Structure formats: C-alpha cells, structure tokens
A and B are shown apart, each in its own frame.
Chain A
C-alpha cells in the first residue's frame, strides 16, 4: 500500500491540507470538470477509487475491460461530458486496437491514468514483461505520456496534461510510478 495512504484524508476539500497523491489527482480532476471515471481496479489505485466513490461530483464505476471504459469516456466526450479512465499496466496492454481505431483517429482527448506495475520491485515476471510494451505502444502512436515520480510535480503534470489533451483533442497517458504511489510489493 502506498505510504501516502497513511496520511489523513478526512479534509480532502479544495485548498485543504491533504497532499496525498490520490487527493491531488481527485482535486485536479474536479477542477478540470472531469466527472465520469470508469476503471478496472488496481491495488495501488484503491485509495483514489475509494475517494472518487465517496465524492458525489464523480460518477465512478468498474468496467469488465479497459476497452469498455475507453468506449464509455469517448462517447461521453462526444456528448459533452469529460471523463478519465483508471487502469493498471496490464490493462493498458489490452488497448492498442482501441487507441489506434477510436481515440487517435477520431481525435478524442482520452485521459488515461495507469498505475505502473512491472518495475521498481515487481515480483510477477509477467507484469514486468507487459510493462515493457507500454511505452513502445504509446510512442508508436505518438500518444503524449508522462511518468510521474514526484509528488511535487504531480499537480502540474496532471493539470497541464488534461488541458493539453482537451485543447489539442489528443489522448494522454499519465503513468503513476511506484516512486509516487509506493507501488505494490511482494509482502503486501
């Protein structure tokens, strides 16, 4: 579990003292009017998912596959509502066709948060292998992506990336590295 989860999160309102990574992500989503958050869950994302469910501003729910979540936020964007998708590295690996045939050619500002497994203490060989496919897939489609490792850079990167995705009508992947979240380790 992420170290940041041990911090108090009871006062997660705007301008509050809660500076956990998940609180910053939630507040930045809200400030950018991103209210629809389908996800395929991940252990590391759990505190973010919990706080999204607890906040009536957000419509957040699990989907059976990541492709489905991408379809939902793409439809919502065209209908005038902003969304973002939460997933894990292995889930991103299921998305190449959807990115190449929906998000990129239709110019949809798909905002993806990917909890990064497969590096910095990974214990599952398959996770470490599939992680290596993520950035080459993003690069091959020229999709903007950032790997976020520092809490003090998180808000800037997320806020600016959302605004850039919307104004340039292009997808973006925000990769949440274990240096930011604590990641998932063998004994947890």
Chain B
C-alpha cells in the first residue's frame, strides 16, 4: 500500500465535475449501484447508460461502445467492489488499446450499498498498481479534485486508454436511477445516434 497521500473526495462531487467537462456528447457508462445513482443525480444526459445489475461490467460495456464508435470518447464509471469482480477486463482493454476509452474508478474500500462491509482489497491492494500490472500504463490516482480534473483533461486528449482512480468517502449516492432498463437502453441508443425515436 504505497499511494495513500490522496485526498478523500466525494463521488457525487467528482461525477458532477466530470459531467461538466463533457461538451462533445461523450458516452458515460455508470456501474451498478451508487456509481450510476450519482451519474443520474448529476443530471441525465442522452449519452448516459445506467446499469441495474451485471456487477463488474461497466468497463466491458464501455469497451464495446468504444469499439463500435471509435470517434466518440467513452467513459466507464466503476466502483472498487465492481472492478474487483472483473479484473481480467483490465488486461483485455490493455491488449486492445482503444484510443477513446477512459475508466474512472471510485474507491471507498467498502460495499457501501449493502451495509458498508470492507472489500477484500481494502487496506491491502492498490487498484492503480493492479491496473498498471494489467498493462494499462496510463493509470493514476487523483490526488485531489483539481488533480482529477487535470487527469480527465489529459485523458480526453490522449491516444490511449486511461484509468483514473479516486479515493472517495463512504456517502451513499445522491439520487436513485429510474429502473426502466428498456427505456435506459433505447434512450442511450438515441443519444449515440444509432436510432431515431419512433
């Protein structure tokens, strides 16, 4: 455990800062639970996709969008517990090197939504070190909010996949996503220009 000089930030605040930067209809995949609740609370955009299950698949879903639309930047917002379920996805992304994929990992060390139990990684594993070891060379901890915004700007102008991890507090999500999977998927496809509304 080396990097612990990072500020503890807040998920909703960081998500809002990210969304405020998106000016080119970037796609955003919100992972299960609080991650997509705060994405929803930051203000719905047609290019947002909210996961209501399939824990751990925010990165793979974002990778699929990135491979389908190489000219659009695609963000995956994922929690630490979710990422731990699908660590192999980091290597898949490192091997494919999509130029337009940016991964944001919110790390509070707990399964907040189920009762704040610590994850097995809490206190022993470093998610950025895992990402680097998986081959994602452009991975970093955000030291504070300013540094997070700087890293996002960098990621949006680079030609390789980026992973930005943030330590966050133990607060629950601010909003609650409307749980309508068909409408979520359909509106997302409209937002990506794949379909027109009826």
Contacts and interface: CB of A to CB of B under 8 A. Distances in A.
Given A67-B86, A101-B52, A107 B182 contact: yes
Given A67-B86, A78-B189, A61 B92 contact: yes
A75 B194 CA distance: 12
Contacts of A102: 51, 53-54, 57
A65 B60 CA distance: 11
A56 interface: no
Contact of A76 (B29, B55, B64, B95): B64
Q: Select the residue from B67, B69, B184 with max chain A CB neighbours within 10 A.
A: B67
B188 interface: yes
A108 B188 CA distance: 13
Interface stretch (A1-9, A79-87, A177-185): A79-87
Interface residues of B, number: 39
A73 B64 CA distance: 6
Contacts of B51: 102
Contacts of A75: 29, 60-68
Q: Select the residue from B59, B86, B92 with max chain A CB neighbours within 10 A.
A: B92
Given A68-B57, A68-B88, A79 B181 contact: no
B8 interface: no
A76 B49 CA distance: 13
Interface residues of A, number: 33
A28 interface: no
Contact of A105 (B52, B64, B189): B52
Interface string A47-66: 00000000000010111110
A79 B67 CA distance: 8
The 4 closest A-B pairs by CB, nearest first: A101-B53, A64-B88, A75-B64, A79-B68
Interface of A: 36, 38, 59, 61-65, 67-81, 83, 97-98, 100-102, 105-108
25 contacts: A38-B92, A63-B60, A64-B92, A65-B86, A67-B60, A68-B89, A70-B57, A72-B64, A72-B67, A74-B61, A75-B61, A75-B63, A76-B64, A78-B188, A79-B27, A79-B66, A79-B68, A81-B69, A97-B54, A102-B54, A102-B57, A105-B52, A105-B182, A106-B185, A107-B185
